[in-house]
């Protein structure tokens, strides 16, 4: 392990907000190592799952290297058994650790429960160990100083930050909630009101996490700015992370090994375009429904 904490750059966002796009844009930076979503929850069928390099994940040389590095250091890793998601075989532990982020009082109670219920603190430490082993192996392989986790989940930020194992820098990524809810409606079979409620609740969780962090460790970013002002936005992120801007470094040319959104990660990111299909796909009743459920919080984020 490093004597100094590894910098962990984390993309916290609702689903369908551009996290995989942002990960793919940042991944070529030589100081950044990433595999996309470290929680690896989408790698359910490993036999058929393809790494973003195009190889089956079970046959990819990169993942063989990661497995060998972790094993050589006395740890355990397998693409069939990541152990990086905050869940275990212990149902009591899962009930304590998995509920959404709450306010300070309930989070204090959760912290005490994890400390006092037998086996919970050990289970949490084991998950943090598994994440740290992968982070170090990937950074060593890429010879990079910063690890980027695009897992989105606010709970991961909470446990990572509270562990003190990393120097946390969190990107608070949002997209107009109408666009996010429209995508959710299409891909998750929810109606617009259900999708808007899901989005609103995730934003509330993200705000609770943001309130935990010092200003120097939080960067608020809009998907729309990323698409409309890509180079300027990437320069802002590099400044936030304390690394050289893209125009001062030679971009990594090797294949990327990213987990997450299949449509985005398996395609080439050559032309970044703003997706505003929601403007023509949502009818007036759906827009009214969204406004009723989540309009106020959407306006608070700067979306009119």
Q: Interhelix angle for 192-212 vs 284-300, to 10°?
A: 10
Residue with tokens 């089956």: 56
List strands edge to edge, sheet with 6-12: 32-34, 146-152, 6-12, 166-174, 218-222
Tens place of pLDDT for every residue, the chain, 304 residues?
A: 446 899 999 999 999 999 999 999 999 999 999 999 999 876 766 778 889 999 999 999 999 999 999 999 999 999 998 999 999 888 999 999 987 899 999 999 999 999 999 999 999 999 999 999 999 999 999 999 999 999 999 999 999 999 999 999 999 999 999 999 999 999 998 999 999 999 999 999 999 999 999 999 999 999 999 999 999 999 999 999 999 999 999 999 888 899 876 666 665 566 799 999 999 999 999 999 999 999 999 999 999 8
**pTM attached to this predicted model:** 0.94
Residue 1's pLDDT is: 44
How many CB atoms are located within 10 Å of the residue 245 CB? 14
Which ranges of the chain would DSSP assign to H, the alpha helix?
Answer: 19-26, 61-72, 91-97, 104-116, 120-142, 154-163, 177-188, 192-212, 223-228, 230-241, 262-265, 278-281, 284-300
SS3 helix, strand, coil % of the chain, rounded to 5? 50, 10, 35
Residue 28's pLDDT is: 95
Residue 253's pLDDT is: 82
Distances from the Cα of 259 to the Cαs of 6, 52, 71, 146, 168, in angstroms?
21, 7, 21, 18, 21
């Amino acid at each position: 392990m490093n004597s100094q904490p590894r910098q962990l750059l984390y993309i916290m966002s609702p689903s369908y907000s551009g996290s995989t796009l942002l990960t793919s844009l940042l991944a070529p930076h030589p100081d950044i190592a990433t595999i996309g979503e470290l929680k690896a929850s989408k790698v359910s069928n490993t036999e058929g799952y393809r790494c973003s390099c195009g190889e089956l994940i079970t046959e990819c040389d990169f993942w063989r290297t990661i497995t060998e590095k972790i094993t050589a250091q006395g740890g355990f890793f397998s693409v069939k058994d990541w152990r990086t998601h905050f869940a275990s075989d212990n149902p009591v532990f899962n009930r304590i650790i998995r509920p959404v982020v709450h306010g300070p009082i309930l989070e204090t109670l959760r912290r005490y429960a994890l400390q006092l219920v037998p086996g919970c603190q050990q289970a949490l430490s084991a998950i943090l160990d598994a994440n740290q082993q992968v982070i170090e192996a990937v950074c060593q392989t890429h010879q990079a100083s910063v690890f980027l986790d695009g897992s989105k989940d606010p709970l991961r930020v909470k446990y990572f930050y509270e562990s003190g194992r990393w120097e946390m820098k969190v990107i608070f990524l949002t997209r107009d909630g109408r666009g996010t809810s429209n995508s959710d409606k299409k891909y998750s079979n929810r109606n617009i009101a259900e999708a808007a409620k899901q989005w609103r609740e995730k934003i509330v969780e993200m705000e609770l996490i943001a309130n935990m962090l010092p200003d120097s460790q939080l960067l608020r970013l809009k998907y729309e700015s990323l698409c409309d002002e890509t180079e300027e936005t990437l320069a802002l992120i590099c400044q936030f992370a304390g690394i050289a801007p893209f125009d001062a470094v030679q971009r990594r040319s090797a294949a990327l090994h990213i987990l997450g959104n299949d449509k985005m990660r398996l395609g080439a990111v050559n032309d970044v375009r703003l997706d505003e299909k929601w403007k023509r796909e949502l009818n007036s009743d759906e827009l009214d429904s969204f406004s009723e459920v989540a309009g106020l919080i959407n306006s608070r984020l700067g979306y009119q």
